[in-house]
Chains A and B, each alone.
Chain A
Amino acid sequence: MTRRLFARSWLVVLVIAAWELVTRAAQESYFPPPSKILPALRQLWFDGPPSHLFLNDTAVDDFSASLGHLFAGWLLACAVGVIVGVAIGRSAPVREMVEPVLEFMRAVPTPTLVPFFIVLFHLSATMQIMTIAFGIVWPVILNTADGVRGVDPLQIDTARVFGIGPVGRLFTVILPSAMPKIFAGLRVSLGFALILMVIAELVGSTEGLGAQLINAEHSFELPTLWAVIVVLGLLGFLFNGALLLIERHFLAWHTGARRSES
């Protein structure tokens, strides 16, 4: 166990140590050493009282704004995407009709639409949420439709023979068996939502993590700039890991079922 931990972590420690030593020796203001980034991080967000998990007021404002928009947009896109995806996935003609349009919408890089959304919704929470939701709804739809299409027709027929109605079939057969594909879509889209959250805040916002990045850039506070980047990286890492865990927990039966089949 300890040996495995060592095999996985020695390079991380080495890289951070080398980063510290090299940046200290170089004295280059663009590349502050970690020992300067951490205090900057503390000063920016984490010098609050222990009862608030050390978060200060700025942190509460920034994180609640950014994460609020992120999850609002993500949940909106998930709800719409799964419903539309199931609807079009069940019918081959409908799917063939809408697929080219969906593929095109997915191909449009959402950041090109941020200025348009700003004109439409001004600098508001709605703008942030709509940017995120619009950007990620297409992969959710396409993945869900793909998952629903792949449901074994024999299972659906079996359910029908046993007198399970269309709604019952949807919840007991179709959705569970499409779950792995749907989950994959949700995980990819959460990572993408984080990208869109940052770009929407960079282009048009005065609050949130992206706004802190722009502030640090304009006031040339390099340690703060690096600190925000590290936090954003950790957030992405955390989200991805959390969804993988949920996926493993909820889909454990699925991997088991597939294994016993083959």
Chain B
Amino acid sequence: MISAVSRRRALRGLAGIAGAVGLAELVSRTGLVDQTLIPPISVVLQRAGGLFTDPEFTDGVVATLEGWATGLLLAVAAGVLLGLLLGEVRWLGTAARPIVEFCRTLSPVSLIPLAIVLFPVTFQMKVFLTCFAAVWPILINTLYALRDVDPVAKETLRSFGFGPLAVLWRVSLPAAAPFITTGIRIAASVGLIVIVSSELLAGDGTGIGGYIMTTQSSGGHTDLMLAAALWTGILGMLVNSGLVQLERRAFRWHDRKAAA
């Protein structure tokens, strides 16, 4: 029953993708738009296939992934630790709230020019920006999650003589983990946007963003630019669905508890 429903869903999804691709092809082929500006999607897909074996592009992907992963890992460590501190120490949390809110709404791309001036090494610049962009969703989710931890469970452990650190480690952190993971997933997609943006402006041609900028300045091949954007989207989707899978597997107990 369930498999029939999900199969129908998958079939409809495939039909939708086929329809969208067909429509895009038609719009370009029939001359509705200028083909040299908006190439037919079949050409873009062909270019995307070609990029897979183009070392200039694959090196860029590796560089982007390295910066992204490093920035994200640092943000997870900083975000969870800060979240625990501000969530458990109430007076500090209240006082830090306006600062956190300000930093969270500060768009990280506005820091790109400053970061370029501050960090002569592009890799450090990218890691800093990714980390800054990624830390806030993780921190905020940690804070919210800690607020919802069952007080009875905490009191129970406390009355059995466990210290505050043990309560944190055995009750608060496990209970908050699923929501923190959701924060990490949001942070990952924001991080990808920011790292690619910083590469567009770094001016040294590294990373996916650097590749796109080089392509633009060397003749403006829109088919290659779109193919690179396509790969970035696929990359983002892969990481996102990977983290969703991880959430489902690691926190199966959480879903069951929430359903009960």
* A236 and B105 form a contact (CB under 8 A): yes
- B101 — which chain A residues lie within 8 A by C-beta? 237
Question: Does A167 reach chain B (CB closer than 8 Å)?
Answer: no
Question: Does B83 reach chain A (CB closer than 8 Å)?
Answer: no
Q: Which one, A12, A111, A194, contacts B197 given CB within 8 A?
A: A111
* A98 and B16 form a contact (CB under 8 A): yes
- B215 — which chain A residues lie within 8 A by C-beta? 115
- B220 — which chain A residues lie within 8 A by C-beta? 119
A199 to B208, CA, bound (A): 16
Q: Which one, A96, A111, A118, A210, contacts B196 given CB within 8 A?
A: A111
Q: Closest 5 interchain pairs by CB?
A: A108-B233, A97-B16, A11-B95, A236-B105, A217-B113
* B233 and A107 form a contact (CB under 8 A): yes
A-B pair count, CB < 8 Å, reads 167
Residues of chain B from 86 to 113 with CB closer than 8 A to chain A in the complex: 91-92, 94-99, 101-103, 105-113
- A236 — which chain B residues lie within 8 A by C-beta? 105-107
* A222 and B117 form a contact (CB under 8 A): yes
Interface magnitude class on chain B: 35 or more
A239 to B19, CA, bound (A): 38
Chain B, residue nearest A228 (CB): B110
Question: Does A257 reach chain B (CB closer than 8 Å)?
Answer: no
Question: Does B26 reach chain A (CB closer than 8 Å)?
Answer: no
* B107 and A112 form a contact (CB under 8 A): no
**Binding site of A, secondary structure by majority: helix, strand, loop or mixed?**
helix
Q: Which one, B19, B94, B117, contacts A8 given CB within 8 A?
A: B94
Smallest beta-carbon distance A124→chain B, Å: 14
Question: Does B13 reach chain A (CB closer than 8 Å)?
Answer: yes
A108 to B114, CA, bound (A): 26
A to B CB contacts below 8 Å, 15 in the list? A8-B95, A9-B98, A15-B99, A98-B20, A107-B233, A108-B230, A109-B196, A111-B196, A111-B209, A116-B225, A120-B222, A202-B201, A217-B113, A237-B101, A239-B105
* A195 and B113 form a contact (CB under 8 A): no
Q: Which one, A12, A111, A118, A233, contacts B105 given CB within 8 A?
A: A233
- B201 — which chain A residues lie within 8 A by C-beta? 202-203
Question: Does A178 reach chain B (CB closer than 8 Å)?
Answer: no
* A110 and B193 form a contact (CB under 8 A): yes
- A111 — which chain B residues lie within 8 A by C-beta? 109, 193, 196-197, 200, 209
* B233 and A97 form a contact (CB under 8 A): no
Question: Does B240 reach chain A (CB closer than 8 Å)?
Answer: yes
Question: Does B170 reach chain A (CB closer than 8 Å)?
Answer: no
* A119 and B236 form a contact (CB under 8 A): no
Q: A99-B13, A120-B38 are in contact. Are A107 and B189 (CB under 8 A)?
A: yes
